[in-house]
Structure 1
Amino acid sequence: MDEKRKLLIDAATKIFSKKGYFSTSVQEIAEQCSMSKASLYKMFSSKEELFIEVFEYHQNMMFKKAFRYSTDESLSPRDLLLKQLSTQIEDFIERKDFILMQLKDVPLSENSDFRLLMQKMRFRITQWQKECLLQAYGNHINLYCWDLTITLQGLIKEFLSILANKNEKVNVLAISTYIVDRLDSIVNDLLTTRPDPLLTEERILHFLNLTNSSSISKTDEIAKQFLIIEQYISNYNNEETKNNLSSSLNLLKDELKAQKPRSFLIDVLLHYFEKEVGLTQTTIKLRSLITELYTGGN
């Protein structure tokens, strides 16, 4: 992301958080960044588009922070879960004002784009939490993965609603450890007593009102593969190759956002990543996801 766009997102985050969506004007965001309203509109066509990008940017940053721990082979599955939960809790505390503003001030009933955005973001966090639990406890919790995911969400939400309202410093590790300890007990009990699960994926998707969940899921999987590539690039020693890989990844992302993505260019860029030994399998998966999403092969 270029510096000017990042500056706009940071300014918009602060003003939206302080004043709310409706009371914030594009003019004051532009002035905060020492630019004209016309310049802002060259980057974002509307206040709605800017708000949506702010929302997606912050969630993507949270996922990016959490992903760094996923590549640390020194962490045990339980320690990894603690790190992932701590990242989510820290993100909530850092952006508390913006998150609370979303709950109170976003016009869900008036704009279908906002409603779809909220559904998509909630699905992403729910899917990610489920994967975190599967990583921590293994596939033998498959039957109960959605019950455990919703239990986890409830624990996080209720503790943060009480503890994060205080001005005092929140002990993130203590909260994460307490939650994981409780999850350990719940998992042990479920695997011992074997009750029927309460929730299924179909029921979760129905609850989240996802009419095109397969498409959303593929989009999120593509984003996950991009994070893997970004992490690989960040660890590259050769600066010239590092810059070439980074530029190619940005070009690929831009092309996928185009109204009519050029398949030949996408293929060339993917082939470039495939030549990197450490990215071959990731690129093969990415190619498959892109093909399914953009050719309708759901």
Structure 2
Amino acid sequence: MKETIIDSALRLFSNEGYTSTSMQSIAEACGISKASLYKHFESKEDLLIQVFEHSLQRMFQRAQEIAVDETISPKERFTQKIILELEVNQEQRAFVNLIIRAMPIHQNPKVRELMKRTKAALMNWHKICLLEAYGELIRPYIWDIVVVFQGTLREYIVLMMDDYKLMDKSKVAALLVSHLDAIVESTDKPAAILTPSLMNDYERFDLFDKKMSEEEIFNDILTQLVYKKDQSPQNKQNELREAIERLETCFYQGGDQQVFIEALCLYIDARIPIKEEIQRIQHLLKNRKCKEGISK
């Protein structure tokens, strides 16, 4: 239920604005009472903050699915993660701006703390991504590379999202990786400025409590499918429910079910938009096939 509330709040905040969206309208969208809503979230401000954190965590979860894709090289996985971050920023830019307008950072200590945690989370995620792509060779000056990478990426995001400059995200990612290659391969490297001791507060930041299992990832996907089904017209819901149930059965049935799973995904997508969920399922199937090939 909490995830349903968060998804409904994200949609209403983005479409109606923070001020115009009441807790009552969020409760009605979820089919629960206002009192039940307050059992999960103490205030509208608390809900807004948790919606933002949930969106960020979902990006990290999607990135972890890319990270375990052994069918592509570490450098290609890194490129895919950059594209993912650009896509998520495009999807969430209006929502982030909404938070800043609704609760200005300098006026709200909760938002200041949220932005501080977000900065630490992103820096550590980028650190992990860079080490996975380039290996231990870059560890002595990893934080400097993180800052150079983030600064460049941020400027592209601002130009693309705020200034509406049309760019191919895959080309942006490829260019960033090419520049990083040049930095890493350079033989004339000065001493690191951002040493581990200087970045001690970031070094101690724990980004992931645990890695999600295949079952946890798929259950998260099913939650999203059911939520989208519930938002669809009433006359479509029965057939969608049956298709989602068959999809779940095929996924856990074992054997070569890929053709049936892909067909069910296309069937569902023709009735409700599930492009993101299809990509996540495809990653799971690729990883499963890769693991089966290794075990043989």
TM-score range (shorter-chain normalised) is 0.5 to 0.7
Of the candidates 84, 96, 110, which is equivalent to residue 99 of structure 1? 96
Match of 1:48 in 2: 45
Match of 2:57 in 1: 60
Contact 1:86 1:176 (8 Å CA) reproduced = yes
TM-score, normalised with respect to structure 1: 0.66
The 1:6/1:127 distance shift into structure 2, 3 A limit, reads same
The 1:203/1:16 distance shift into structure 2, 3 A limit, reads farther
The 1:104/1:204 distance shift into structure 2, 3 A limit, reads farther
Of the candidates 132, 136, 149, which is equivalent to residue 135 of structure 1? 132
Match of 2:208 in 1: 221
Partners of 1:227 and 1:103 lie apart in 2 by 34
Partners of 1:226 and 1:27 lie apart in 2 by 34
The alignment status of 1:182 with 2:179, answered yes or no, reads yes
Q: In angstroms, what is the RMSD of aligned CA positions?
A: 3.0
Contact 1:26 1:47 (8 Å CA) reproduced = yes
Of the candidates 180, 184, 189, which is equivalent to residue 194 of structure 1? 189
Q: Secondary structure at the match of 1:141?
A: helix
Aligned residues: percent identity? 32
Partners of 1:121 and 1:73 lie apart in 2 by 28
The 1:19/1:201 distance shift into structure 2, 3 A limit, reads farther
Unmatched segments (≥5 aa) in structure 1: 240-277, 279-298
The alignment status of 1:156 with 2:150, answered yes or no, reads no
Contact 2:160 2:166 (8 Å CA) reproduced = no
Match of 2:74 in 1: 77
Q: Secondary structure at the match of 1:129?
A: helix
For residues 57-104 of structure 1, what are the alpha-carbon distances to aligned partners after superposition, in whole Å with 9 as ceiling and x for unaligned?
111110111111111112112101101111111111111111222334
Q: Give the number of the structure with larger relative contact order, counting CA–CA contacts within 8 Å between residues 6 or more apart.
A: 2
The alignment status of 1:230 with 2:216, answered yes or no, reads yes
Partners of 1:118 and 1:202 lie apart in 2 by 23
Partners of 1:104 and 1:178 lie apart in 2 by 33
- Once the two structures are TM-superposed, the CA of residue 125 in structure 1 deviates from its matched residue by 1.1
Contact 1:143 1:197 (8 Å CA) reproduced = yes
The 1:159/1:59 distance shift into structure 2, 3 A limit, reads same
Partners of 2:149 and 2:184 lie apart in 1 by 12
- Once the two structures are TM-superposed, the CA of residue 123 in structure 1 deviates from its matched residue by 0.8
- Once the two structures are TM-superposed, the CA of residue 114 in structure 1 deviates from its matched residue by 3.0
Contact 2:143 2:194 (8 Å CA) reproduced = yes
Partners of 1:163 and 1:58 lie apart in 2 by 20
The 1:9/1:71 distance shift into structure 2, 3 A limit, reads same
The residue identity in structure 2 corresponding to 1:105 is A
The 1:7/1:130 distance shift into structure 2, 3 A limit, reads same
The residue identity in structure 2 corresponding to 1:92 is N
* 1:159-170 aligned within 5 A: 159-165=156-162, 170=167
TM-score, normalised with respect to structure 2: 0.66
Partners of 1:125 and 1:228 lie apart in 2 by 24
- Once the two structures are TM-superposed, the CA of residue 168 in structure 1 deviates from its matched residue by 7.5
For residues 6-30 of structure 1, what are the alpha-carbon distances to aligned partners after superposition, in whole Å with 9 as ceiling and x for unaligned?
3321221133334554554323323
- Once the two structures are TM-superposed, the CA of residue 51 in structure 1 deviates from its matched residue by 1.5
- Once the two structures are TM-superposed, the CA of residue 149 in structure 1 deviates from its matched residue by 0.5
